Amino acid sequence: MPIAQDEIFGPVQTILKFKDLDEVTRRANPTLYVLAAGVFTGSVDTTNTLTRVLRVGTVWVNCYDVFDDAIPFGGYKMSGIGWEKGIYSLNAYLQVKAIITPLSNPAWL
């Protein structure tokens, strides 16, 4: 079903029926565009299972489209442009450099 497998931009809500959590995993994980998923349930066990097995960048539980600048947001596979927000977003702008300098009188000794 293309609407569940392609990256759709716009006000679209897809609701799919499933028999068990294994079916959810089998249908969700093979897709190429896995930016985020929404899980609506009253079961803590279902929440724990799906947040572990879904290969997506963000899992919203009993909410959707909620963001916080301290929490990283990004997708897996073909989704997203890397990680945005949070400390992870800074990595795109940083480069590590090691500097070794022998000191004759270091301040910490």
CATH fold for domain 2-93: Aldehyde Dehydrogenase; Chain A, domain 2 (3.40.309)
pLDDT, residue 21, reads 94
Low-confidence residues in the chain, pLDDT < 70: 1-5, 7, 109
pLDDT at res. 5: 66
Residue 79, Cβ density class (10 Å: 0-12 exposed, 13-18 middle, ≥19 buried):
middle
pLDDT score of 49: 95
Residue extents of the structural domains in the chain:
2-93
Closest CA to 37 of 17, 14, 18, 19: 14
pTM flag (> 0.75):
no
**Distances, alpha carbon 25 to alpha carbons 22, 45, 50, 76, 95, in Å:** 5, 15, 8, 15, 37
Give me the phi and psi of 84, to 5 degrees please.
-115, 155
Q: What is the pLDDT of residue 40?
A: 92
